[in-house]
A and B are shown apart, each in its own frame.
Chain A
Amino acid sequence: MLSRVAENLYWMTRYMERAEDTARLINAVTLMSLDMPPDVRLGWDTLIRVAGLDKVFFSDGREANEAAVIRFLQRDESNPSSILACITSARENTRTFREVLPWECWEWINELYLYARNNLTHDLDRRRRYEVLQAIIRRRQSIVGLLSGTMSRDPAFQFLRLGRNVERADMTTRILDVSCAVILPSGDPASSQYSDLLWMNILKALSAYQMYRRYVSVHADSRKVIDFVLRNREFPRTITHCLREISEVLRTLPQPAVPLSAVQELILAVDGAKADALEGSQLHHMTDQIQLGLARIDAALRKQYFRTANGSAELSEAAA
């Protein structure tokens, strides 16, 4: 597998995952905003902050109201991580390695791109917005299904899996951070009810609500939800699950020692955190730590697989 192709595969799924997870996030937050009482402030600006895009967004003095934030996340040209920008980048990336994917894959990605370009218009009302984002999620999922059902478990497949899980873990931490976006009125007797509602919506943004109810509890208690989202081993969007996938993938690749140790380190940190200590700013500190750990894994991957040195030592080794 060419290093350049491996890197493009990795980024292709990172972009795809980011697009899908952003769509899920917008849908969940939109639904949440309908449930919240008028005096609960839903900070749309925080949505921009957790996505790590505040610098771009606020650079030209925009106001963070619902319409502006949603437009920014969906297709704004100044946002390189908008859903449309991610799908466009994934499509352009795919062009560079069509030969390693099943033939239909390019058509489906191209079709997803054409759909997103034609339907993510600036003035979507809430109902239409929900439909379009669901359709994007569905199309992206069918591509995942196509690859899973028709692709050999070769290095190309493994790099797709790697990108997907690194990005997914990152987005999961960001969705957890949304909890900070909602400021509940203190001392209100209804507050705990809204707290449950908030955590329920966090689970929904991760499409985890049903599985959480089935295996943990019908009540969306903050500690239980945080513990589930960080450490549940069975649900495919939790931090622990993503990290285990990454480490499983690495074991199939050549010379995985360095990136693998970065993954192990992060797994230990997540396992060791105490759930009852993870509230408010502590939670935010934890998600920060995870994001830094993921960045270290990403750097290790780049060094090991994407930028092959061409020194003479390696040449003579290969020629031997």
Chain B
Amino acid sequence: MMIESQNHAVMERYDELLDGQDQPRPIARALWDYFHKLPKEDLAARVAAVDAAIMTAGITFTVYTDAGNIDRAWPFDVIPRMIEFREWQRVERGLKQRLEALNLFITDIYNERKIIKDRVFPAEVLQDSKNFRDACVGFKPRLGVWAHVCGTDLVRHSDGEFYVLEDNLRVPSGVSYMLENRQLMKRLFPEVFGRYRILPNENYSAQLYDTLAALSPRSGDRPVITVLTPGIFNSAYFEHSYLAQQMGAELVEGADLVVGDDDCVYMKTIAGLRRVDVIYRRIDDDFIDPEVFREDSALGVRGLMRAWKKGNVGIANAPGSGVADDKVVYAFVPRMIKYYLDQDPIIPNVPSYLCMDEKDMGYVLDNLDELVVKPANESGGYGMLIGPMSTAEDRAKFADLIRANPRNYMAQPTLSLSTVPTLTPEGIAPRHVDLRPFVLQSNRSFVTAGGLTRVALRKGSLVVNSSQGGGSKDTWIVEGDS
């Protein structure tokens, strides 16, 4: 396979596999060599085999459009992204540190609010928080942990450093694609695996199981663990089913569960009702209990909050965790780490301008063409303005939105996301990537070996979301130089 070098004009960006002279970094030499020597037809045949495997495996996600919901095959790129083990160890420590601080913050916010009293965190951010839950005030869940599963989005800037872009603490998804990507690579490129020592990532399901089992209110080796899904029409249904299968857990829908007069949760089985110990819920807070939150929800379970607050069932992530999943709260995480742990953040934040601050808002409004503006509580890349690619009309619209509701907006400089060589219709060319590792915390912490590398398949695009033309790659944490 010939790799056209002019595709690789290195500008102000960092490439994960190639150095400034378009030469493979030491870690990537064997991989680069392999892809160079692979005949074009051979590569094409394997790519076709990958596509066929994805089709038969039915690895799909759902895109919501006006024309109806479409099940799309998961776009996968065969050239992996590599990270050196030594560097990864540091990232791993940084991710655990961050989640630990976030969990301390959530407990504090629903209880003493010391961080506000000590003037480290402004009270007004909380007042307008969409994801703050009154029902959680005064509550401390088992082990003091709220967010048991976190998907942290990292990006690498042109300076070669990783930055945290956002913390997904509600119902982060994507881990099943990370696991499936590895299976695909092993099946279709077994020879490359012989050339490297790649950290396996398969143990995630077992780690997730242990994390959830630690939340069981009853003792015993086999707690009854369920994955609560909104159902088959949810875009992440594939993942819900996948994780239930991998953990040997029951995949349940709201209608399968019932809360008894004893405030315990039961599932409806062929032999009658059976007590449930832990619920890994993949439904937003708003929908989990019509008794407390949205009354019109048909997805949830009436009385679930009662059962949880009585300590009769573990829920991951705990209701109310979303208070820390907010792009304005995000800006305060480095200060939280210092405040709760008395440590310096290992992985820095992307510099952020909060529109609730008058000076910052002025700067944002003056520099809309250079900044990325994000609403505080959206996910999936919706409702964003990417300044350098926007029209004057877009910018005017956002200026109005920001002035109307400053608390709901924050802005960051447009980062030059790092790239990884990617197979495109024009040959191998650089495409921008981010990285979503998954972090677990209950009685101990765990970070996946790598994570889900998402890639913006359109040339020059910085949007990696699968709903907007993104794909993914296998992510290798590699020991040694080659």
| B479 interface hit (Cβ, 8 Å) | no
Contact with A along B234-270 (1 / 0, CB 8 A): 0001000110110001111101101011101011111
A95 and B56 within 8 A (CB) = no
A253 and B270 within 8 A (CB) = yes
Quote the shortest CB–CB distance from A61 to chain B (angstroms).
31
| B116 interface hit (Cβ, 8 Å) | no
B260 and A319 within 8 A (CB) = yes
Quote the shortest CB–CB distance from A162 to chain B (angstroms).
11
Which interface class (under 10, 10 to 19, 20 to 34, 35 or more) fits A?
A: 20 to 34
Query: A114-B56, A312-B261 known; A2 and B245 CB under 8 Å?
Result: no
| A217 interface hit (Cβ, 8 Å) | no
- Report the separation of the CA atoms of residues A99 and B256 in the bound assembly, to the nearest whole angstrom: 16
B270 and A315 within 8 A (CB) = no
Point out which of B256, B262, B271 has the most chain A C-beta atoms below 10 A from its C-beta. Answer: B271
B251 and A99 within 8 A (CB) = yes
B244 and A99 within 8 A (CB) = yes
Query: A96-B232, A110-B56, A114-B55 known; A254 and B271 CB under 8 Å?
Result: yes
- Report the separation of the CA atoms of residues A106 and B273 in the bound assembly, to the nearest whole angstrom: 28
- Report the separation of the CA atoms of residues A66 and B151 in the bound assembly, to the nearest whole angstrom: 58
Q: Using Cβ atoms and an 8 Å threshold, which residues of chain A touch B232?
A: 92, 95-96
Closest to A101 in B: B245
B58 and A110 within 8 A (CB) = yes
B264 and A319 within 8 A (CB) = yes
Which residues of B71-104 have CB atoms within 8 Å of chain A's CB atoms? none
Closest to A100 in B: B245
Quote the shortest CB–CB distance from A101 to chain B (angstroms).
8
Of B56, B241, B245, B268, the residue contacting A111 (CB under 8 A) is B56
Contact with B along A177-215 (1 / 0, CB 8 A): 000000000000000000000000000000000000000
Which residues of A72-115 have CB atoms within 8 Å of chain B's CB atoms? 92, 95-100, 103, 106-107, 110-111, 114
A97 and B57 within 8 A (CB) = no
Q: Using Cβ atoms and an 8 Å threshold, which residues of chain A touch B55?
A: 110, 114
B272 and A317 within 8 A (CB) = yes
Quote the shortest CB–CB distance from A22 to chain B (angstroms).
24
Interface of B toward A, CB cutoff 8 Å = 55-58, 232, 237, 241-242, 244-245, 249-253, 255-256, 258, 260-262, 264, 266-275
6 nearest A-B residue pairs (beta carbon): A99-B245, A318-B273, A254-B271, A99-B244, A308-B268, A315-B260
Name 8 interchain pairs, CB-CB below 8 A, sorted by A.
A5-B250, A95-B232, A97-B251, A107-B57, A114-B55, A314-B272, A315-B262, A318-B260
For the A-B complex with A318-B273, A318-B274 known, give 9 more contacts whose Cβ atoms are closer than 8 Å. Answer: A1-B270, A2-B269, A3-B256, A4-B253, A96-B232, A99-B241, A110-B57, A114-B55, A312-B260
Interface of A toward B, CB cutoff 8 Å = 1-6, 92, 95-100, 103, 106-107, 110-111, 114, 155, 253-255, 305, 308, 310, 312, 314-319
